[in-house]
């Protein structure tokens, strides 16, 4: 096993991880910074896949207070309000940094101001974008800056465990697998950032790429950290439906299509959203996803079992100009977005839940920081489209500043607990000692179980059935080995490790969903369809016991800035409703 030391170790190379690296070096150019990523720097992760844009209150007619109220009401009063305010406030600073320091070219109005388009669930059009390829613009500029600096890059390195210090004083670093050789690497760090992203790839239809498997959340829980809001898995309503034999299925057709006036049609060719919500196609993601799912369940589906999205009434040339990435993506799958109809299906997109963290990105373990989709508390029950990349970049920058300050305070390099390293290696080596099995079948069963029983519409019976099925899958995984004992680029080995993380996190999602006996945002219980009393709103907190079984408690939300029934907006014209019932 190779071991080396660094000042700052960043796990993940999306918007949160790369912003953290740049901010840390900006604070102290002499820091030794290491970025470890499962894939290739700038070519993997979810930030690159962002299409829609970046929410930020820039227009004089908009305000921080209005953006904040949209976020709190959209999150059904579950967000931790100081984190939500820091997101809204920091987005203004960060978008200027993206433009003026990193060189991002966002779309502009004729007067030179940034163009901001409509996204669902917002009382003002505040989404800054680069056509429909915003994430590529942001990640490419971040990648250029990282490559221009002396940052150590560990590409195709998988983190398998967060390793505590031998004396119990905090985190020593992380154990990694070099996927190219199959060898292990222990990286000691004065400060470690968890920025691996979420990625609900345990569902049949899902947005993220296959390398996203909730590893960070699983590692954090095994270290003893609590997670919150894990039942809140957001389904984007319009994932491309191109058949189960292609991974293009599930990739997002961005919300701006509906914001621009796109129609959703059922299999009979009828617009149906007005049957479910007065906002029609511009309702929030959770509402639109449930509405499409209801049409599917009623049998009013397209040939492949979903719904249609139609844009041609807006003018094919206009659609092709405004959404070039979407038009090309659909054309690659045989659909004409500009002039015809495209089949769509709700797709598991984003996890609002995650590790509990503080406003400076510290966690309960000294030396461990967290930012981005690994974290919970910012979005509550529902993330507004455009708040995701803002979350990653705002808190990623804060993490870089915080870690640099932490190292400047003479943070030590801690000796790792050898027993923890040995246990992590033994765990990772498990499948090599087992008889060969069919991981593909296990993965398919996990996809269907989560989609059917822990998906868009939930019941107690379905969730209990799902938990039982997950326990069976876990037991079967630990009886399923690999055909090839070679560690170098053994992708089946990493499939096994992916499944282990996915099953662990899936059990937590189902446990939290069973405990929440009300409906709000992304979590809808058919047996408890009402939202309940907002004044006594509580969030779910889950930890793992020594046998890695979820243990849950409910924690009251502290309304530190605004309470249900109140608003920060003096001019109520166009303001979001103050309660979920309005």
Is residue 300 part of the annotated active site? The answer reads no
Per-residue CA distances from 44 to 38, 353, 356 (Å): 8, 22, 25
Give the other-Cβ count within 10 Å of 321's Cβ.
Answer: 12
Name 236's Cβ contacts closer than 8 Å, sequence gap at least 6: 207, 252, 255, 285, 289, 346, 347, 349, 350
- CA triplet 482, 205, 371: central angle to 5 degrees? 80
Catalytic one of 129, 206, 236, 525: 236
Is residue 258 part of the annotated active site? The answer reads yes
Catalytic one of 129, 258, 285, 523: 258
| Distance of alpha carbon 93 from the chain centroid | 22
247-273: buried (b, 16+ CB within 10 Å) or exposed (e) per residue? eebbbbbbbbbbbbebbbbbbeeeebb
**Beta-strand relationship, 2-11 and 183-194:** parallel
Phi, psi (degrees; rounded to nearest 5) at 78: -90, -20
- CA triplet 16, 20, 26: central angle to 5 degrees? 150
User: Do residues 561 and 239 lie in contact, with contact meaning Cβ atoms separated by under 8 Å?
Assistant: no
Give the other-Cβ count within 10 Å of 314's Cβ.
Answer: 17
- CA triplet 363, 8, 395: central angle to 5 degrees? 50
- Counting DSSP H helices and E strands in the chain, the numbers are 14, 18
Q: Which residues are catalytic?
A: 236, 258
């Amino acid at each position: 096993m190779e071991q080396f030391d660094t000042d700052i170790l960043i796990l993940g190379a999306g918007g949160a991880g790369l912003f953290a690296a740049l901010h840390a070096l900006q604070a102290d150019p002499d820091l030794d910074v290491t970025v470890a990523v499962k894939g290739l720097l700038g070519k993997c992760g979810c930030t690159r896949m962002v299409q829609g844009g970046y929410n930020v209150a820039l227009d004089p007619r908009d305000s921080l207070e209005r953006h904040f109220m949209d976020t709190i009401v959209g999150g059904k009063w579950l967000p931790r309000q100081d984190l939500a305010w820091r997101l809204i406030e920091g987005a203004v600073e960060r978008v200027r940094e993206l433009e003026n320091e990193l060189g991002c070219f966002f779309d502009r109005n004729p007067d030179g101001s940034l163009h901001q388009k409509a996204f669902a669930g917002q009382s003002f059009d505040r989404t800054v974008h680069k056509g429909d390829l915003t994430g590529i613009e942001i990640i490419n500029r971040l990648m250029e800056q990282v490559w221009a600096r002396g940052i150590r890059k560990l590409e195709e390195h998988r983190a398998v465990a967060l390793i505590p210090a031998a004396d119990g004083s905090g985190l020593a670093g992380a154990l990694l697998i070099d996927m190219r050789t199959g060898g292990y690497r222990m990286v000691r760090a004065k400060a470690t950032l968890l920025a691996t992203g979420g990625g609900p790839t345990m569902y049949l239809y899902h947005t993220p790429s296959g390398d996203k498997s909730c590893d960070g959340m699983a590692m954090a829980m095994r270290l003893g950290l609590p997670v919150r809001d894990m039942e809140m898995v957001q389904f984007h309503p319009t994932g491309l439906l191109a058949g189960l034999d292609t991974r293009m299925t599930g990739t997002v057709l961005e919300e701006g299509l509906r914001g621009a006036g796109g129609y959703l049609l059922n299999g009979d060719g009828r617009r149906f959203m007005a049957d479910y919500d007065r906002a029609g196609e511009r309702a929030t993601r959770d509402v639109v996803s449930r509405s499409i799912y209801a049409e599917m369940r009623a049998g009013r589906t397209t040939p492949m079992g979903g719904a249609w999205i139609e844009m041609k009434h807006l003018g094919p040339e206009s659609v092709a100009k405004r959404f070039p990435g979407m038009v090309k993506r659909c054309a690659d799958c045989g659909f004409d977005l500009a002039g015809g109809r495209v089949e769509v299906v709700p797709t598991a997109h984003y996890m609002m839940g995650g590790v509990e963290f503080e406003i400076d990105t510290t966690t309960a373990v000294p030396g461990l920081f967290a930012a981005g989709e690994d974290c919970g508390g910012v979005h509550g029950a529902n993330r507004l489209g455009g708040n995701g990349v803002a979350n990653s970049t705002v808190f990623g920058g804060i993490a870089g500043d915080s870690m640099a300050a932490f190292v400047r305070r003479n943070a030590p390099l801690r000796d790792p607990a050898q027993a923890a390293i040995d246990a992590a290696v033994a765990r990772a080596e498990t499948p090599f000692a087992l008889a060969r099995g069919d991981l593909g079948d296990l993965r398919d069963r996990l996809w269907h179980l989560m989609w059917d029983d822990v998906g868009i519409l939930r019941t107690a019976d379905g969730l209990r059935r799902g938990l039982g099925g997950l326990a069976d899958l876990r037991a079967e995984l630990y009886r399923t080995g690999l055909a090839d004992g070679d560690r170098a680029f053994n992708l089946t080995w990493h499939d096994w490790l992916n499944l282990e993380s996915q099953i662990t996190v899936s059990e937590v999602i189902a446990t939290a969903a069973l405990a929440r006996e009300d409906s709000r945002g992304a979590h809808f219980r058919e047996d408890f369809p009402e939202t309940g009393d907002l004044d006594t709103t509580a969030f779910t907190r889950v930890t793992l016991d020594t046998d890695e079984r979820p243990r849950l408690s409910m924690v009251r939300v502290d309304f530190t800035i605004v309470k249900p029934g109140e608003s920060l907006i003096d001019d109520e014209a166009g303001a979001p409703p103050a309660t979920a019932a309005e």
